[in-house]
C-alpha cells in the first residue's frame, strides 16, 4: 500500500501525455483541410464529414466512438469490484451487436443517403410523417448522450488523479487540466466538425492497441493467466461485510444467467441506437462499408476483453501488495484500478503512453457525441419547431454553437454535481435509448406500427425503465485510508444502484432496459391494433421501397451509365426520379 | 412514385435488386444466428472447465467468439455480394 502515500506529480507521465495531447490538437485543427468538400457550411460537411469515409476511416471512427475512455476505465473497474456479471458481459455485448446491425444498418444508411437524412429522427419524421415521434426520438437521443459525454470526463479525471493532478485543495486548480482539455477539444470540433475526431481516432486507437498488447504480454509472462484467474476467483468468493453476500461473480451462476444474457443482448440492441453511433455510420461513403465494418470492428472487442481482464490483473497486484486503488482524496475508487495498474507495473514513460491513450480516448467520443447531439437539436428541434426555413449554412452554424453548449454542459455536470449523478444518468441513458429501437428498426422494414402507437410504446418503456432503475436502492460504501489502514463505512443508501431489476411477477433479475423494451413492443402492438380498428390517420410516408437498398454509385457503374447515356442521347432525357437527385 | 422514363434502357445507377435468392437469405441468417445463439446460451458456457492455458471455459469460450463472429459476418457479406453480382 505505497502508491497512495506519494501525492507528487509524476513529471515523466505528464510530459508524455502532454506530448500526445499537443499532437492531437494539431491534428484536430488540420483535419478541417482533410478531404475537404466545397464548403464546411452544411451539416453534411461539418456534421457527417462530407459522407465520404471509406472502410478504414469508418473503422477507426466507429472504434474510437463506441469503445470510449469510459469503457476502458469502467469495464475493468467493474471486473475489479464485482466480477463477470457487471463487467465481462461487455464482451458478448460487443460481439452480438455486429450480427444484429449487419441486418438493419445498411437499410438505414441507404434511406438516409437517398433522402439526405442526418439524424435517426430525420428518418422517423420522413417515414411516419410524425413530428411528435421524431421529437421523442431526438430528445431521447440528446438525453442519453449528454451524460455519456460527461462520463468521458470521468475517464480523464481517473488518469489525472493517478498522475497526481487531483490532490490540490483548490477546486479550480484541480480541475484546470480538464477545463483546458475540453476547451481545446471544443475549439477544433467547432472548426473541423466530424473530420477532427476521425483523424484523432487514428492516434487514439494505435496507442490503445500498443498499450493492450504490452499489458497482456506482461500478464502472460509475469503473472500468468492461471494465477490471475485464481486470485480473482478467491477475491469474488470473499464475503462482503456490508451485504453478507459474496463480493462478486467469478462466473455467471444459476441466478445470473438471465441477467448476463439480457445485459449483453439489451446493450447490443441499444448500441447502434445511440446518435453518435448512427452519425459515424451515416458518414461512410458506401453501403458496403458498414457490412465490411461488422467483420473488422470485433478487433476492438478483442481488445476490450483483454482490457476487462486487467481488472482481474489489478486484483492480483493488490493482493501482492504492489498497488491500491485509493485516490488523491484518500477514498477507494475501483475506477482507478487500470490507471494504478499501469503506474505500478510499468516504467513512467509507458504508463504515460497508456494514460495518453485513455485521455485521447475520451476526446474522440466526446467530440462525436457532441456533434451528434447538436445535429439532433438542429434538425429535429430547431428547424422543425423554431425556424422552418433554415438554410444548410444556417443549420451548420446552429449545430456548431450547440456542440459548444453541449460540451460546456457536460463539463458543468461533472464539475458541479456528484460524479455519481453522471453514472446514474448513464445507466438511465442506456435504458432510454433502447426505447427508440422499435420506431427506428421496425420502421426500416414495415409501416405496420401506427405512429401514435409507437409513441405510446416509447412512453411506456421510458416510464417503466426510469421508475424501475430508480427503485434499485443500494448501500453507499466508502472505504477510506485512515493511518495506513483501510476503513470501510456505510454512509446511507442511493437510488439507481443497479441496471438489473426483477422481471415483473418473478424473482429473476434481468436488465431493466430489456424489460422496458418488451413492454414498449407490447404496448405498440396493442395500440396499433386499436388505432387501425378505428382507422386513425397513419401519416404520410415520404420514402420509397427502393430507398432501402440504394447505394452510392461506384465509379465503374457511373462510367458505364455515362457511356450508355451518351449512346442513347436525345432519346433519354431523364433517368432519375425526384428523390434521386440527392446523390453527390 | 418513380418517374423514370419507360423508354430508358439505362437502370438508375443507384438501383439494386430488392430481393435476394431464398438460398442466400437462409445461409446468411444461419451465419448470423450462430454467434448470437452461442453467446445467448449462458448456462452452457458458464463453467470453469475445460481450462485452456489457465483460462476458465467461461472466459476463453467468449473470447473465441470474438474471433469466430467476424468470420461469420464476413462470409455473410461475401454471400450477399455474390448474389447481387458484385465484384
Residue A498 confidence (pLDDT): 77
Does residue A575 carry a pLDDT above 70?
Answer: no
Does residue A167 carry a pLDDT above 70?
Answer: no
Angle between helices B57-83 and B22-40 (to 10 degrees): 170
Cβ of B36 within 8 Å of Cβ of A100? The answer is yes
d(CA A364, CA A371): 11
Cβ of A99 within 8 Å of Cβ of B1? The answer is no
User: With bands split at pLDDT 50, 70 and 90, how would you rate the model's confidence at A459?
Assistant: very high
Residue A150 confidence (pLDDT): 82
Does residue B11 carry a pLDDT above 50?
Answer: no
Distance from CA of A413 to the nearest CA of B (A): 36
d(CA A154, CA A327): 13
How far, in whole angstroms, is CA A20 from its chain's centroid?
Answer: 23
Cβ of B69 within 8 Å of Cβ of A561? The answer is no
Residue A412 confidence (pLDDT): 80
Mean pLDDT of A190-211: 82
Whether residue B50 is preceded by a cis peptide bond, meaning omega within 30 degrees of 0, is yes
- For residues A580 and B14, is the Cβ–Cβ distance under 8 A? yes
Grid-cell match 504492489, residue found:
A322
Does residue A554 carry a pLDDT above 70?
Answer: no
Query: What does pLDDT average to over chain A?
Result: 79
Cβ of B62 within 8 Å of Cβ of A574? The answer is no
Does residue A519 carry a pLDDT above 90?
Answer: yes
Residues of A in contact with B30 (CB under 8 A): none
Which residues have CB under 8 Å from A526's CB, separation 6+?
A453
Give pLDDT tens digits for A114-161.
888 888 888 998 888 888 899 999 999 988 888 888 888 878 878 887
DSSP codes, A373-399:
HHHHHIIIIIIIII-TT--HHHHHHHH
How many residues are there in chain B?
Answer: 87
CB pairs under 8 A between A and B: 161
Residues of A in contact with B62 (CB under 8 A): 88, 91-92, 95, 305
Cβ of B62 within 8 Å of Cβ of A95? The answer is yes
Name the pTM for this structure.
Answer: 0.81
Domain boundaries, chain B: 19-84
Does residue A518 carry a pLDDT above 90?
Answer: yes
- For residues A249 and A85, is the Cβ–Cβ distance under 8 A? yes
Amino acid at each position: 500500500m505505497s502508491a497512495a502515500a506519494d501525492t507528487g506529480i509524476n513529471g515523466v507521465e505528464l510530459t508524455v501525455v502532454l506530448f500526445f495531447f499537443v499532437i492531437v490538437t494539431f491534428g484536430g485543427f488540420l483535419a478541417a483541410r482533410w478531404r475537404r468538400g466545397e464548403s464546411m457550411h452544411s451539416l453534411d460537411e461539418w456534421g457527417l464529414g462530407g459522407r465520404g469515409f471509406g472502410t478504414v476511416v469508418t473503422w477507426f471512427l466507429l472504434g474510437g466512438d463506441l469503445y470510449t475512455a469510459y469503457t476502458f476505465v469502467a469495464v475493468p473497474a467493474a471486473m475489479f469490484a464485482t466480477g463477470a456479471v457487471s463487467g465481462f458481459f461487455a464482451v458478448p455485448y460487443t460481439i452480438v451487436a455486429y450480427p444484429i446491425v449487419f441486418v438493419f444498418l445498411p437499410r438505414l444508411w441507404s434511406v438516409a443517403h437517398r433522402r439526405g437524412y442526418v439524424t435517426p429522427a430525420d428518418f422517423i419524421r420522413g417515414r411516419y410523417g410524425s413530428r411528435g415521434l421524431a421529437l421523442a426520438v431526438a430528445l431521447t437521443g440528446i438525453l442519453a448522450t449528454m451524460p455519456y459525454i460527461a462520463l468521458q470526463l470521468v475517464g480523464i479525471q481517473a488518469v489525472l488523479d493517478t498522475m497526481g493532478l487531483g490532490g490540490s485543495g483548490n477546486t479550480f486548480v484541480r480541475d484546470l487540466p480538464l477545463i483546458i482539455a475540453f476547451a481545446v477539444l471544443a475549439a477544433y470540433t467547432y472548426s473541423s466538425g466530424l473530420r477532427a475526431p476521425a483523424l484523432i481516432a487514428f492516434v487514439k486507437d494505435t496507442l490503445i492497441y500498443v498499450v493492450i498488447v504490452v499489458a497482456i504480454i506482461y500478464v502472460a509472462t509475469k503473472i500468468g493467466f492461471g494465477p490471475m484467474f485464481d486470485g480473482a476467483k478467491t477475491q469474488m468468493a470473499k464475503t462482503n461485510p456490508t451485504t453478507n453476500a459474496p463480493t462478486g461473480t467469478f462466473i455467471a451462476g444459476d441466478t445470473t444467467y438471465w441477467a448476463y444474457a439480457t445485459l449483453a443482448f439489451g446493450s447490443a440492441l441499444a448500441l447502434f441506437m445511440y446518435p453518435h453511433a448512427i452519425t459515424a455510420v451515416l458518414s461512410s461513403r458506401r453501403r458496403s462499408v458498414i457490412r465490411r465494418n461488422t467483420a473488422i470492428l470485433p478487433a476492438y472487442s478483442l481488445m476490450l476483453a483483454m482490457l476487462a481482464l486487467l481488472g482481474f490483473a489489478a486484483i492480483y497486484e493488490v493482493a501482492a501488495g504492489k498497488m491500491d486503488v485509493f485516490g488523491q482524496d484518500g477514498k477507494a475508487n475501483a475506477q482507478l484500478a487500470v490507471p494504478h495498474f499501469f503506474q505500478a507495473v510499468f516504467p513512467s514513460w509507458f504508463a504515460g503512453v497508456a494514460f495518453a491513450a485513455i485521455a485521447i480516448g475520451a476526446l474522440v467520443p466526446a467530440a462525436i457525441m457532441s456533434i451528434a447531439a447538436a445535429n439532433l437539436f438542429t434538425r429535429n428541434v430547431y428547424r422543425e419547431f423554431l425556424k422552418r426555413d433554415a438554410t444548410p449554412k444556417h443549420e451548420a452554424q446552429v449545430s456548431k454553437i450547440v456542440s459548444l453548449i453541449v460540451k460546456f454542459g457536460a463539463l458543468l455536470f461533472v464539475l458541479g454535481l456528484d460524479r455519481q449523478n453522471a453514472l446514474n444518468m448513464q445507466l438511465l441513458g442506456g435504458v432510454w435509448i433502447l426505447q427508440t429501437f422499435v420506431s427506428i428498426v421496425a420502421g426500416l422494414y414495415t409501416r405496420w406500427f401506427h405512429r401514435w402507437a409507437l409513441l405510446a410504446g416509447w412512453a411506456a418503456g421510458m416510464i417503466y425503465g426510469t421508475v424501475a432503475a430508480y427503485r434499485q436502492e443500494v448501500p453507499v460504501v466508502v472505504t477510506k485510508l485512515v493511518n495506513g489502514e483501510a476503513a470501510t463505512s456505510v454512509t446511507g443508501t442511493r437510488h439507481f444502484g443497479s441496471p438489473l431489476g426483477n422481471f415483473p411477477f418473478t424473482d429473476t433479475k434481468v436488465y431493466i432496459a430489456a424489460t422496458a423494451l418488451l413492454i414498449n413492443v407490447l404496448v405498440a402492438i396493442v395500440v396499433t391494433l386499436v388505432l387501425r380498428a378505428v382507422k386513425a390517420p397513419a401519416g404520410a410516408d415520404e420514402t420509397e421501397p427502393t430507398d432501402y437498398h440504394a447505394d452510392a454509385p461506384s465509379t465503374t457503374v457511373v462510367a458505364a451509365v455515362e457511356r450508355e447515356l451518351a449512346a442513347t442521347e436525345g432519346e433519354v432525357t431523364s433517368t432519375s426520379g425526384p428523390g434521386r437527385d440527392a446523390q453527390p | 412514385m418513380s418517374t423514370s422514363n419507360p423508354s430508358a434502357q439505362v437502370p438508375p445507377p443507384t438501383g439494386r435488386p430488392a430481393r435476394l435468392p431464398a438460398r442466400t437469405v437462409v445461409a446468411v441468417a444461419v451465419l448470423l444466428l450462430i454467434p448470437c445463439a452461442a453467446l445467448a446460451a449462458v448456462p452452457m458456457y458458464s463453467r470453469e472447465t475445460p481450462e485452456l492455458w489457465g483460462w476458465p471455459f467461461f472466459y476463453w469460450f467468449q473470447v473465441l467468439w470474438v474471433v469466430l463472429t467476424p468470420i461469420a459476418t464476413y462470409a455473410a457479406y461475401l454471400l450477399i455480394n455474390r448474389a447481387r453480382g458484385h465484384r
